[in-house]
């Protein structure tokens, strides 16, 4: 694999930088870099700017309004956006549901939902995990019973990220108890404003309301909201998860976090010298940087193969494991580098306009919340233990 960027790719990087200079509001970039709390309006505004440029859905076919970027273009944009302080693109509609609809949905579903994802009409969330079905997703209990031209849905989903903002939720539901557990699952689209749907917040270790419980009490869902065939939802779920796990490599985010870590280490004193000159700490930073560079190459290789038609399989599990381990190591090093400055955490400090005195630099306010929040990375999208099992079975035959 040629690791040198072509002239066209270098020109694309310049184009991305120019776009970010012109369209990314400095106040929004500052909020992201300082770890301030983003509002729904912040995220929607950035989505709208990307959509106007035609860059909101880089992996979609052009037929449906996508940019159809190459793997290298995706990589370049990811690096530059995180470095500039752009908010992350909320993935649930764009990068999770849309690929499933494009591959398995009806023409009517594509024509209705895809434009509404792009223009921001619909905000989607994911309904997979349940209180007793997380890593063992096949044991889910939320049931959908067909009654004429509708399904009646009863059950509960949990860890529903940003569900309190969502207009719609795509759900795995049980439509049959016959055969293996995986064989009775269907993929259903549910309007969050339907009577019987309720949302209850879950406050995380970092003090934030990011995830929720979602309850379904005799919720009436049109049968036309079934994606693909009944009882084939497990197939669609696996397809979605390969895209999600590949995304959790999170190269751009980790690269930006590593640069911040280097600045922290250079500006923090340890025994009269910068922490970056402490042999033990410098060695840990060097190791995580080497790991990140190696993962960049692996990520590009896998994405290039996907561009040529190869479906990501256990490779997406490898990226998920390594990407989350690297990100957590960077979080841990930043926390250790700041020492006592990372300990105090005042929730209000994440609000824009907070001006109370701090014992450390402004960015220190976000280090502890980031550390706590990112403990989840090795669990969501299938725990790292589950991913190691997938790799063992598919690659090693164990």
Return the pLDDT at 77.
Answer: 94
pLDDT tens digits for 45-57? Answer: 999 999 999 999 9
The three-state secondary structure class of 7 is helix
- By C-alpha distance, which of 340, 341, 389, 350 is closest to 373? 350
Query: In the structure encoding, which two tokens stand for residue 102, read together?
Result: 């494009």
Torsion, Cα 126 131 132 135, to 10 degrees, reads: 50
Distance of CA 251 to the CA centre of its chain: 12
pLDDT tens digits for 15-62? Answer: 999 999 999 999 999 999 888 889 999 999 999 999 999 999 998 999
Superfamily name with CATH number, domain 248-396:
Butyryl-CoA Dehydrogenase, subunit A, domain 3 (1.20.140.10)
- Residue 36, phi then psi, degrees to nearest 5: -75, 160
How is the chain split into domains, by residue range?
7-89, 124-231, 248-396
Query: In the structure encoding, which two tokens stand for residue 375, read together?
Result: 């403990």
pLDDT at residue 311 tops 60: no
Task: List the CATH code of the domain at 124-231.
Answer: 2.40.110.10
- Residue 133, phi then psi, degrees to nearest 5: -145, 90
Give me the active site residues, please: 244
More confident residue, 293 or 345: 293
Query: In the structure encoding, which two tokens stand for residue 248, read together?
Result: 């959790």
pLDDT tens digits for 209-259? Answer: 999 999 999 999 999 999 999 999 999 988 877 655 455 678 888 999 999
Across the chain, mean pLDDT equals 88
CA 224, 225, 229 angle in degrees (round to 5)? 80
Region 270-285: mean pLDDT is 90
pTM: 0.85
- Residue 304, phi then psi, degrees to nearest 5: -65, -40
Is 7-89 a CATH 1.10.540.10 domain? yes
Write the CB contacts of 329 (distance below 8 Å, at least 6 apart in sequence).
284, 288, 291
């Amino acid at each position: 694999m040629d690791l040198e960027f072509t002239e066209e790719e270098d020109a694309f990087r310049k184009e991305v930088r120019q776009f970010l200079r012109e369209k990314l509001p400095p106040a929004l970039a500052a909020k992201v870099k300082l770890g301030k709390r983003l509002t729904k309006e912040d995220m929607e505004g950035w989505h709208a700017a990307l959509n106007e440029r035609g860059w909101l859905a880089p992996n979609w076919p052009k037929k449906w309004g996508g940019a159809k970027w190459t793997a290298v273009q995706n990589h370049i944009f990811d690096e530059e956006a995180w470095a500039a302080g752009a908010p992350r693109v909320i993935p649930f509609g764009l990068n999770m549901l849309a690929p499933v609809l494009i591959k398995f949905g009806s023409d009517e579903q594509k024509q209705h939902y895809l434009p509404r994802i792009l223009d921001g009409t619909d905000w989607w969330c994911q309904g997979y995990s349940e209180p007793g079905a997380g890593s063992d997703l096949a044991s889910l209990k939320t049931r959908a019973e067909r009654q004429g031209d509708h399904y009646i849905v009863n059950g509960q989903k949990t860890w529903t990220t940003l569900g309190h903002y969502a207009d719609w939720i795509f759900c795995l539901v049980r439509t049959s108890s016959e055969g293996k557990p995986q064989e009775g699952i269907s993929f259903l689209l549910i309007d969050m404003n339907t009577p019987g749907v309720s949302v209850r917040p879950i406050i995380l270790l970092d003090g934030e309301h990011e995830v929720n419980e979602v309850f379904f009490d005799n919720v009436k869902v049109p049968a036309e909201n079934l994606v693909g065939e009944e009882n084939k939802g497990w197939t669609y779920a696996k397809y979605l998860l390969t895209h999600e796990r590949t995304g959790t490599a999170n190269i751009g985010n980790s690269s930006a976090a590593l640069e911040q870590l280097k600045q922290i280490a250079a500006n923090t004193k340890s025994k009269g010298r910068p922490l970056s000159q402490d042999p033990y700490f410098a060695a840990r930073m060097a190791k995580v940087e080497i790991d990140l560079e190696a993962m960049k190459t692996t990520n590009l290789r896998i994405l290039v193969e996907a561009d040529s038609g190869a479906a990501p399989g256990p490779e997406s599990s490898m990226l998920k494991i390594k990407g989350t381990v690297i990100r957590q190591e960077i979080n841990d090093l930043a926390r250790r580098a700041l020492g006592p400055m990372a300990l105090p955490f005042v929730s209000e400090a994440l609000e824009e306009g907070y001006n109370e005195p701090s014992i450390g630099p402004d960015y220190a306010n976000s280090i502890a919340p980031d550390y706590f929040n990112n403990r989840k990375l090795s669990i969501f999208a299938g725990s790292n233990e589950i991913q190691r099992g997938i790799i063992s079975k598919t690659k090693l035959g164990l």
